Structure 1
């Protein structure tokens, strides 16, 4: 069962700091330019914790991780961060314009603690592989701070919209009947709203509604896997079973709220219903760089075994949108080409994996294009040695045209149905297969273990 818990969050005091100056995008979406902008915005910006600046003189005793812990300690002492008086869940809505369109969507969910399960328990499912070095970095930060400043983005299915009805109290015209406690507009124009929910009866209704749900990680695989590893470590140290709740019978009375068996057994998550409108998945394009012997003509000759190839005048995404089948756009310094998959040739080349995986654009891009045709090894891709992942097609084109890259490949986004099928079947896609938009803001709520 999926166990969730209310918690007494640390939250910035809006009377002491402007909230828009202290929150950030998730750590793995922060460029060096964004990092500096966050540093300049406020001495209390969360960047100093989640992605602090490194110093060449850093040592084990004085490092980016120890400075993160010192910042949190100082902010709590100075009451920049205040602990809530009572346990709560937090409704969370994001209103945004879909990139590249004029369409306005709203994604709704709620922030709570979620119990940490091993994938083998078949409660939490992943959908893509991870990068080892990212997990090592997050483990070092977490051990130093013992604090969750960012949320995992979790998906679940509930066609009845139970949590949404309980949290947002939507009226007949679809508007919220309860005003938000906090509203922030981020640098992408996304409006983030938060509702604090402290009523024990309401919380327990949501806890009960979530009990039979399977959870799929949308964003945060590295942090989740790091947290599970640390929870197992602490479970052994404390001699407390990770999978066993503190309340043996798990029967909730209206005034009683569930708690983790020990603090490390749960982490902060935002839960979003896959059956509700408002979810957007963007493509993540691939840029290949650092290859001394790359030749576009030779690449296209090899590609003819697996793809029908059409030259393109411009590196526009429209041919992908209308292709109707698996296809990629290859952008090289000496031309652009549409690669349309030959199903029989692809199936023969990918017969070692499940048909469910083999039909995915992103799997064909990695296994056929990047490994077979470009010549990257699976290990080099895992270690991100010759590949960059970018959201904006214009950025990828600029890297190729400026000779900062050999070639770029544009890809269609994974669909929500594909993600659901892959995850719940136990399969996984390559790293960076999805880009959920918008990202969850970091700093809206913080879970401190101590």
Structure 2
């Protein structure tokens, strides 16, 4: 499917296979360090030389035994836990029922190609992509059993995230986790372009190390990522024009006080402001579309002229601050529903660009996968 210059990446076929790997781990003071992140943007030789130098000086550790890992991290008071391993990417789904990894955002082919080129150069996955699912009770119990033990590693990184790691090396325990993961259907929460780059690299060099990509599988029931909205600022549009566009598709618009505006947000309700006036916009129900879908598919096309641009903000406060009477309207959106996002992806649909914000993300460098290790 193609939409606004983006495409849906290929689907990996189930059953999912999450394999153990020999992790590379940055020293705690390197994790979260901006200088570390900049290193991964350099050329192949510089990245490999820097990693070798860090490993020589004890700033990068290489685990001797392949393992699956339970990674628990805490950021801004929220604790997230997941299983980290290398996902088999070698089989593509032909039928919808075979799809096991579900993207919900489109990817830009050129960006995915560039990332694939970079992975091919540095031969390293610096961080896992984040996948979410509803784990089985058995998998949840297996994970909690690991967490009841003493962590293999525990530390606080440079930006204040707390990390705990458990290396699962026992073959029977690995097999038990793999058996529970196998029938899962998972949603990409973060890392759509890296996922597409994984698949491009695998297609270029099948049968080797690129057959596997580093992932973290988060149980969205047990220790969920926070799913927030990303708000819009529509440039070149007035608040009355936006309100008339909503009413033209069967919705309603009512002026509200600024102090109570956010109380009106809901699955079918937007809030808009031009910085001076505030409106609660009720969208037509029964379409099966989320608020962000209706905004882009129905409301914006109903404006008398196309917006000059649409800007994105992760907080309502920053979006509202960018609004200007007669010039720019901030459109504040409700937080998406995870199960609706899964349903959209399972239906082979894409949400509009920047429709979801899964947080918090772990710092890169906690667990890395070297493609040189196979």
**Superimposed CA distance per residue, residues 140-198 of structure 1 (whole angstroms, 9 cap, x where no aligned partner):** 321221210011111233331x333223327xxxx8343451232674x6533222222
1:221 is aligned, of 172, 186, 192, to 192
Aligned mates of 1:320, 1:64 — CA distance in 2: 50
**Superimposed CA distance per residue, residues 179-218 of structure 1 (whole angstroms, 9 cap, x where no aligned partner):** 451232674x653322222222222221222222222211
Aligned mates of 1:397, 1:92 — CA distance in 2: 37
Question: Which residue in the other structure is 1:182 paired with?
Answer: 154
Residues 302-381 of structure 1 correspond to what in structure 2 (within 5 A)? Answer: 302-306=245-249, 307-314=251-258, 318-321=262-265, 323=266, 325-343=267-285, 355-356=287-288, 359-373=289-303, 375-376=305-306
1:197 is aligned, of 165, 168, 182, to 168
**Superimposed CA distance per residue, residues 45-102 of structure 1 (whole angstroms, 9 cap, x where no aligned partner):** 421234x4xxxxxxxxxx66765455335434555323211101111123455xxxxx
The number of aligned residues is: 353
Q: Are residues 10 and 185 of structure 1, via their aligned partners in 2, closer, same or farther at CA, if it must alter by over 3 Å?
A: closer
Alpha-carbon contact 1:320-1:412 (below 8 Å) kept? no
- Secondary structure of 1:400's partner? coil
**Superimposed CA distance per residue, residues 262-300 of structure 1 (whole angstroms, 9 cap, x where no aligned partner):** 2100111001123424342111111234x4xx3333333
**Superimposed CA distance per residue, residues 90-124 of structure 1 (whole angstroms, 9 cap, x where no aligned partner):** 11123455xxxxxx653321111111154545121
Question: Which residue in the other structure is 2:133 paired with?
Answer: 156
Q: Are residues 298 and 166 of structure 1, via their aligned partners in 2, closer, same or farther at CA, if it must alter by over 3 Å?
A: closer
* More deviation, 406-415/192-201: 192-201
Aligned mates of 1:374, 1:194 — CA distance in 2: 55
Residue 418 in structure 1 maps to residue 347 in structure 2: no
Q: Are residues 414 and 118 of structure 1, via their aligned partners in 2, closer, same or farther at CA, if it must alter by over 3 Å?
A: farther
Q: Are residues 81 and 157 of structure 1, via their aligned partners in 2, closer, same or farther at CA, if it must alter by over 3 Å?
A: same
What is the TM-score with the length of structure 1 in the denominator? 0.70
Residue 49 in structure 1 maps to residue 39 in structure 2: yes
Alpha-carbon contact 1:49-1:72 (below 8 Å) kept? no
Aligned mates of 1:374, 1:277 — CA distance in 2: 45
- Secondary structure of 2:205's partner? helix
What is the TM-score with the length of structure 2 in the denominator? 0.83
Q: Are residues 180 and 280 of structure 1, via their aligned partners in 2, closer, same or farther at CA, if it must alter by over 3 Å?
A: farther
Alpha-carbon contact 1:330-1:339 (below 8 Å) kept? yes
Q: Are residues 390 and 23 of structure 1, via their aligned partners in 2, closer, same or farther at CA, if it must alter by over 3 Å?
A: farther
Unaligned runs of 5+ in 2: 1-14
Aligned mates of 1:106, 1:288 — CA distance in 2: 34
Question: Which residue in the other structure is 2:24 paired with?
Answer: 10
- Secondary structure of 2:248's partner? coil
Alpha-carbon contact 2:21-2:67 (below 8 Å) kept? yes
Question: Which residue in the other structure is 2:30 paired with?
Answer: 22
Question: Which residue in the other structure is 2:5 paired with?
Answer: none
**Superimposed CA distance per residue, residues 238-274 of structure 1 (whole angstroms, 9 cap, x where no aligned partner):** xx4xxxxxxxxxxxxxxxxxxxxx2100111001123
Question: Which residue in the other structure is 2:144 paired with?
Answer: 168
Q: Are residues 11 and 191 of structure 1, via their aligned partners in 2, closer, same or farther at CA, if it must alter by over 3 Å?
A: closer
1:83 is aligned, of 42, 62, 82, to 62
**Superimposed CA distance per residue, residues 401-441 of structure 1 (whole angstroms, 9 cap, x where no aligned partner):** 599x8222111111122122222333322222211121122
Question: Which residue in the other structure is 2:241 paired with?
Answer: 298
Q: Are residues 317 and 336 of structure 1, via their aligned partners in 2, closer, same or farther at CA, if it must alter by over 3 Å?
A: closer
Bigger strand fraction: 2
